[in-house]
Amino acid sequence: MSPLLSVDDLARQYPVAMSGGQRRLLHAVDGVSFTLAAGRTLGIVGESGCGKSTAAKLVLGLLPATRGAIAFEGEPVTATRDRAWRALRRRMQMVHQDPLAALDRRLPVGEQVVEPLTIHGLEAGQDARQQKALALFEAVGLRPDLFQRYPHELSGGQRQRVVLARALVLGPSLLVCDEPISALDVSVAAQVINLLQDLQARFGMAYLFISHDLKVVRQIADEVAVMYLGRIVEQGPPEALFHAPTHPYTEALVSAVPTPLRGTRERIILQSDPPNPVERPGGCAFHPRCPRAIARCREETPALRQVADGRLAACHLVPSMAAPVPVAA
């Protein structure tokens, strides 16, 4: 069966002006490939600026790709806003970090859940649309009396639930969640994650779940891709990846998370901030920060390839590494 979403060699560059009037290309996403099956969750992690949001916008057809191909439900995704694009966009919805920015401050939240149904001509009549929106309100755990409230009258968690109801009312098969909980308090964030899991079990949509919070990704994802400077450097099932990372960058990310994710691992402090993607280091882009770098790393770019346990990694040392030692959680 073909996957719900398949992304092949996706790239996006931005021209940027440098000091002195020079123009250079910034490689925000640079040759990313993955597939996502219906009803499953792919987590994407990596430091700020590594290209996660750009990848999300490309998948949703909100931004044209410089290179590569995206197929969703067997159809090519482009950023040309025609009929086919609108039909596809109904089936793939987005939830991002700031629900207040995503909502219209002048409209009661219930109306904002009804609105997509009206725009897409779904459900005959206002009553049916209202009923459908109320059912989604209930599904995301909002009381019906909040239907007439305005966004500023709700809490951050309630607003993110409204955004979810509005995304789900169209019956999408894919939800792209870009840092959906990073603006929420820890306890509210945990509730929203549980809700996302419940909604997936109930409605069966797939998630592309972007976060810099490894613990959350471990909880929610079936598969995790670790990005560094626009590329996937390691990919695999969360338990394996977080308990026994093979790529030194994943190892450093995991080691920065307090136990239990870190286990007995030493914290690896990465030297310096990620380099500017306009001046991407040659060879392995991670080499200036990598505690394990060897001479070859400066010269040769490691390809992402299959390593143990159905995992992928892009590191010259991985084949020669001893089998990763599991660390108890």
Ligand X SMILES: Nc1ncnc2c1ncn2[C@@H]1O[C@H](COP(=O)(O)OP(=O)(O)O)[C@@H](O)[C@H]1O
Return the bridge partners of 236, or none: 224
SS (H, E, C) 125-144: CHHHHHHHHHHHHHHCCCCH
Determine the distance from the C-alpha atom of residue 250 to the mean position of all C-alpha atoms in its chain, rounded to a whole number. Answer: 16
Q: Which residues contact 109 (CB under 8 A, 6 or more apart)?
A: 103, 146, 147, 149, 150, 151, 154, 159, 162
Per-residue tokens: 251: 């190892």
Q: Please, what is the minimum distance in Å from the beta carbon of residue 235 to ligand X?
A: 16
3-state helix, strand, coil in the chain (%, to 5): 35, 20, 40
Using alpha carbons, list the distances in angstroms from residue 301 to 230, 233, 298, 315, 316. Answer: 14, 11, 8, 8, 8
SS3 31: strand
Provide, rounded to whole angstroms, the least separation between the CB of residue 7 and Mg ion: 17
Nearest approach in angstroms of CB 174 to ligand SF4 is 31
Binding site for ligand SF4 (CB under 6 A): 247-248, 284, 286-287, 290, 292-293, 297, 302, 315-317
Q: Which is nearer to Mg ion, 139 or 176 (CB)?
A: 176
Query: Does residue 180 touch ligand X according to CB under 6 A?
Result: no
Site for ligand X contains 275 (CB under 6 A): no
Residues near Mg ion (CB under 5 A): 52-53
One DSSP character per residue, 125-194 reads SHHHHHHHHHHHHHHTT--GGGTT--GGGS-HHHHHHHHHHHHHTT--SEEEEESTTTTS-HHHHHHHHH
* Distance in Å, CB of 301 to ligand SF4, minimum: 8
Residue with Cβ nearer ligand X (46 or 99) = 46
Does position 96 interact with ligand X (CB under 6 A)? The reply is no
Q: Which of 28, 140 has the CB closer to ligand X?
A: 28
Q: Which does 54 bind (CB under 5 to 8 A by kind): ligand SF4, ligand X, Mg ion, none?
A: ligand X
Q: Which does 97 bind (CB under 5 to 8 A by kind): ligand SF4, ligand X, Mg ion, none?
A: none
Stretch that binds ligand X, among 43-51, 187-195, 237-245, 302-310 (CB under 6 A): 43-51
**Is 274 a residue that touches ligand X (CB under 6 A)?**
no
Q: Choose between 278 and 294: whose C-beta lies nearer to ligand X.
A: 278
Binding of residue 97 to ligand X (CB under 6 A): no
Q: Residue 239 and residue 247: Cα distance in Å, rounded?
A: 15
49 binds ligand X (CB under 6 A): yes
Q: Would you tell me which residues interact with ligand X (CB under 6 A)?
A: 14, 16, 26, 28, 46, 48-54, 277
